[in-house]
Structure formats: structure tokens, C-alpha cells
Structure 1
Amino acid sequence: MTTVALAVTDGMLHFELALACEVFGGAGTGADASWYRLRICGPQAVRAGRFRLEPDDGFDRLARADTVIVPGWADIDREPPADLVDAVRAAHEAGARIASLCTGAFVLAAAGLLDGRRATTHWAHTRELAARHPLVKVDPDVLYVDEGRVLTSAGKAAAMDLCLHLVRLDHGAAVANTLARRLVVPPHRDGGQAQFVTTPVPEPGSHPLSEVLPWALQRLDRPITVEDMARRAGMSARNLGRHFRSVTGTTPLRWLLTQRIRRAQELLETTDRTVDAVATATGMGTATTLRRHFHRTVGVPPDAYRRTFRARAGSVGETVGAGGSGGSGPSR
């Protein structure tokens, strides 16, 4: 069971704080005995917006967590509290994975964790982050950045994207997608997507891609070109690309590749199909093509990915079989 610690103090943004609690402190996807143990850590009772919160532990608990989440910081005009910065730095030195939501990146930057790394924050504050911390490689045009043990997200909805990304890393795509369905949010938005689009996203069912997106998802096992999607949408390829950027924040081919990879992840986690069969089922054609794109996108080969999540599934099964609820397994 992985321990997730929320580092809180006065002035935290309540939206990001609440969604992190929902993702990591909820019931997960149902009967998953390996779900997270959430601890809220702060020096005393804190105010987050109009809400008052009683922490479970002090900041010293952060150094014993597997993952530390730093929610958004409301008043970026002043430096974050020194005790919070010191505790986050100590947790990182102890081996914890550190993730910031929205302007929580200012806390990570103050702790020196972003020096020499790519990072992001809410688009309205990226210039300030870059000016105050010139060693940080601020990327203003992405939803979140994964630098291994240090992760940062843009604001509001992007914070949910990063939380689901962490669940996907820990439990696999199938579990993350199930959780997203329970939360009624998109199952996956690539971190490299733009933070915002130039025009408002239309209501579901009313935008020009409302038919072509589900059409493509139902045909991932077949070759699909941009021209195929353009014909389905009744527009030119150039017009399709423009609408894709407006609605999804990415290009048609990148969106399509992402859907194929996510589908491959689910099949590797939940079936015994060979890599060749998974390649066929996801429209990759050959195992060689799947391995190349999968490794580049996910970071590990398909076979290694399957072994990792099958091993975790086996551990969950052993835990449930031995004690029913999973008890209080080892944690940091």
C-alpha cells in the first residue's frame, strides 16, 4: 500500500486539495486492496479557501511517505512558508516522489527541486515562476511534466490529469480509466497537450469532431489516416487538424497514437494476448512497431510493462486472499 501525503498549510487552494483527496483518499476503483493510504500533513489546523482542515500528522511525516502532493499555493506574491519548503525538500531527499498541483510548483522551486528540470504551473503564473527561479526550465504550454521523481501540473483540471497520471503509473491504465469513469472525467489527457485553447470547447455533441472521435476509437484495430477521419467529419484534412487542435489540444495523428498506446496498455494488463496480437488489435501492425512506439511513449517495452502490472495484480490477490481487506501492509 503506497502512502500519499498531502502537504498543507494556510493559503492552499481548496479545489486542488479536494481533488487530490478524492483521487488518493477515496475508495479507488472498488475492491482494490492496494489503494493508497492518504495522510494530510501540516503544522496545525489550516485554512484552505473558506474551509478549515485538521491535518492527520505534522510535516515530519512527509519524509516517510512514498508520494508527497503539494496543492496550489494561493499567494504567490510572497514566499511559501519555510517549514513547508524544508519538509518537502527533506521528503525528496528521503526518496519520496514529489508532485505539485498548479502553483504548488512555487513550493517545489523554493525547495530547489526544480533546478535544471522542466516544470510547469498555471499558465497565468509561468512567467513569474521563470523570473523568480531562473534555473527552472518552465514550460508554459503543457498540462503536466513528469521528470521521474518530481512532477508538476498546470492549474485546475490539469491537476486532475496529473493525479490520474500518477494512478496510471502505479496501478496501470485499466485502473486509471476505471477511476476516471467513476469521477466522470476524461480517462487520459497527454501531458504535452496545450494548457488552453484559443476558442471555448463546445458542448459535447455539438462540435465538429463529436462523431469522428468515437468512430476512430471503435476502429483502433484498423489503419486510419488523417484523410479517413477528414472524410468521416466531412471536411478537409487541414480543417480537421485545426478542429483537432481546438477541441483536443493536439494533432489528429498524435491523438490517434495516444489512443492506440492506451488500448495496448489495457490489453497487456488484462489479457494474455501476445505482443503480436496486441499490435494487431491496436492497429500497430507488427510487434516491432508496437514496441518502438510503446517504449518511446511509456518508457518501458510492452513485455516489461506486462510483467510489472501482472506482478502488482498478483500481490493484490495474495493480500486479499490472506486477509480480506489488505490490512496495513508495509509503507514508508
Structure 2
Amino acid sequence: MQRVGFVIYPGFSIMGLAAVPAFELANLIGDEPTYDIHFISEDGGPIRTSAGMSVETEAFGETAFDTLVVGGGTFVRSSPPGLITFVQRAATQSRRIAAICTGAFVLGEAGLLDGRRVTTHWMHARELQQQFPKCTADVDCIFINDGPIWTSAGMSAGIDLALALIEADLGQEVVQAVAKKLVLYHRRAGGQSQFSTLLELEPKSDRIQSALTYAKRNLHRPLSVEELAEAARLSPRQFSRVFHAETGQSPAKAVENLRVEAARVMMERSRHPIDVVADQTGFADRNRMRRAFLRAFGQPPQVIRRNARSALDAASA
């Protein structure tokens, strides 16, 4: 069996353990258990998380782990010397080491990020880059695999990272079954953006939220201001004024951002021709979609698709 160690330390966020059920379910779905799961800390015993609950752990030892997973905390803080020493030793013994969210800082302190492309929660990416300038921090990915080092964005992205690890070990059929049991729609590709247009707009009223939800469900339609205003139960003039006041964007710009986000997801997850993607997400033609991609990402759709496929190939290598 493959030994998987989840590193626990004081102030650790319990969301860092959200990846554990993926390995647990993989054991139940496979012909025989693959993963021997351990919770480990410097001294062993109960370790208090940032939420106040305690997790029982084993003390660091000499036994090697096939996979070591270092979770993150609510805040970035310096790691205890014993933790850094353990992670450095593990780097010479383990097949792969993963960090969830701010766990990337632990790997950075251990010198494991030098020359690597990595990610972490977008709120801490700039700090990660400043503290460890020899790495390349990519804020736009939910997880990244660079050789034996795996890093993920915010805590929930740790589930996607765990599924990618399992897929690399056991194949797509098993990981799809695990995702289904976790009630996940799919495993998100590592290159998928951390950001969500609906979250960034942050509408304050139910009426504007209803209009945005309607728009997201009907991106294949032209979506005029009049149509969106009707969904919000406001006059077109009142709708435009309230929409801009709540989101800081015009309805047309917000709809374009929703279209770009939907098109990017289709480019990452499917092999549909660009013309089909443009049509299904409401762009008049591929040239209009290309211009929108350049405004949003600085890259054309073909590059987005190529990068997503490269990330998937790296995860399954």
C-alpha cells in the first residue's frame, strides 16, 4: 500500500483535511485498498486546529511516505524548525509532496519551491512570490504539478489536487467514481482559474443576482438590457443604473465576462471546435470571442486550450 501522510500543525485549518475522503473512497472503490492514511505532527498527540477542534496525530518518524500532504492555515506564519526539517527529509524519501493553500509556504521554507511553478490561494500569491523569489507563483491555477511537487489554491482546491493524485495512480475510471461519491460534478483541471465572475461581481440585491443567474443560464441568447431588466423586474433605465451601482460594471461588460468564463471552461474540458464554443456561449463569431479572450486573459482561446491540455498531461504523467 502507498503511505499517505497528512501533516498537521497548530493552527492548521480543518479544510486542509477535505482531501482525505477522496483517498478513503478510492480505497473502497478499488479492487483492494491502495492508500494507508496517517495524520502526523512533530510531537504526535492531539493538535488543535484554527477552528478549535483537535486531531489525533502520530509523531514524525523515520518511516517514509509515498505521498506527503502539507495543509494550510488561516494565516501565513513561520513554520517550526522541526516541521521544516521533516519536510526536507521527506523530499529525499517521498515520491511526491503536495501543499494545499498556504501549505506552499512550508514547502518554500524547506527550499522545495526553488525553480518550480507553484500556486496558492490568490490572496497570498504575491507574498509567496516575494518570500520565495526563485519560484514562479501562478495565481490563476487551482492546482499545479511541477515534477514531484504539487500545490493547490484555496482549501477546496485541495480536493481537486487529491483527485488528480488519485487519477495519476489509479486512472480516470476510479477517480470519476470517487468524484461521483463526493457529489462533485467533475474533477476540475489544474489550469482552471481560481476566479469566478459571479463572485467578483458581488451583487448586493436579489434582483441583480436574479438577472445575473438568468444571464448565466441563457448565454446562448443575445441578452439585451431589456431582457435582463425584465428578469430583475426593473425598468431598463433603472436596471442599468442599479446594476452599475452594485457591480461597478455595465450589464454588457458583465455578460461578456460571463461568456468568456463559460467559453474558457468549454475550451478546457471539451474538444468542441472554437466555432461551436463561440456559438454556444453567445459570441457572434470566433473573432469576437478571440477579442474578448485577449481582453480578459491576454491570450487567445487556442492558447488557453493548449495550456489546459498540458496541465492534464502533466497531472497524468
TM-score by length of 1: 0.65
Tell me how far 1:23 sits from its aligned partner.
Answer: 1.4
Q: CA deviation at 1:59?
A: 1.4
SS at match of 1:45: strand
Amino acid at match of 1:50: G
C-alpha deviation, 1:192, in angstroms: 1.8
**Segments ≥4 residues shifted beyond 4 Å:** 201-205, 238-245, 250-259
1:57-206 equivalent positions in 2, closer than 5 A: 57-60=58-61, 63-76=63-76, 78-200=77-199, 206=217
Q: What SS class does the counterpart of residue 229 from structure 1 fall into?
A: helix
Q: Give the match's secondary structure for 2:176.
A: helix
SS in 1 for 2:4: strand
Amino acid at match of 1:101: I
Check conservation: 1:144, 1:154, Cα contact below 8 A. yes
CA separation of 1:15 and 1:25: change in aligned 2, threshold 3 A: same
CA drift at 1:115: 1.2
Asked if the contact 2:12/2:74 (under 8 Å) is kept, the reply is yes
Bigger radius of gyration among the two? 2
Match of 1:227 among 272, 275, 279: 275
1:266 corresponds to = none
The letter of the residue matching 1:137 is T
Gap runs ≥5 in structure 2: 201-211, 221-257
Q: Secondary structure at the match of 1:146?
A: strand
The answer as to 2:197 corresponding to 1:208 is: no
Q: Is the 8 A contact 2:29 2:174 kept in 1?
A: no
Aligned counterparts of 1:14 and 1:239: Cα–Cα separation in 2: 44
Alignment of 1:251-290 (within 5 A): none
How far does residue 9 in structure 1 lie from its aligned partner after superposition?
1.1
Query: Separation in 1 of the partners of 2:22 and 2:130?
Result: 32
Please give the secondary structure, in 2, of the residue aligned with 1:40: strand
Report which stretch shifted further, 152-161 or 30-39: 30-39
Say whether residues 1:2 and 2:50 are aligned partners.
no
| Per-residue Cα deviation, 1:136-169 (whole angstroms, up to 9, x for no partner) | 2222221111112111111123211111110111
Inter-partner Cα distance in structure 2 for 1:140 and 1:195: 8
Cα pair distance change 1:60/1:189, threshold 3 Å? same
Q: Deviations over 1:28-52 (max 9, x none)?
A: 4524314311011112310112211
- Partner secondary structure for residue 6 of structure 2: strand
Matched residues, number: 257
Change (3 A) 1:94 1:29: same
Which ranges in structure 1 are unaligned for 5 or more consecutive residues? 262-292, 309-332
Instruction: Map Cα deviations across residues 156-203 of structure 1 (whole Å, 9 max, x no partner).
Output: 232111111101111111111111111122423221222213443976
**1:149, 1:81 → 2: CA distance?**
23
CA separation of 1:124 and 1:132: change in aligned 2, threshold 3 A = same
User: Alignment identity in percent?
Assistant: 31
| Other structure's SS at 2:123 match | helix
* Counterpart-to-counterpart distance in 1, 2:279 and 2:32: 47
SS for the counterpart of 1:164 is helix
Distance across 2 between alignment mates of 1:41 and 1:207: 48
**SS of match in other structure, 2:69:** strand
> 1:51 corresponds to which letter in structure 2?
M
Change (3 A) 1:168 1:114: same
Residue 11 of structure 1 aligns to which amino acid in structure 2?
G
Counterpart-to-counterpart distance in 1, 2:293 and 2:178: 26
**Counterparts of 1:107 and 1:122 in 2: how far apart (Å)?**
14
Deviation at 1:225, TM superposition (A): 2.2
- Which deviates the most, 189-198 or 170-179? 189-198
Q: 1:129 to 1:81 in 2, by over 3 A?
A: same
* Residues 7 and 59 in structure 1, CA contact (< 8 A), matched pair in contact too: no
Cα offsets for 1:226-257 (capped at 9, x unmatched)? 22333345541356568999xxxx98667878
Preserved CA contact (<8 Å) 2:26 2:174: no
CA distance in 1, matches of 2:314, 2:183: 28
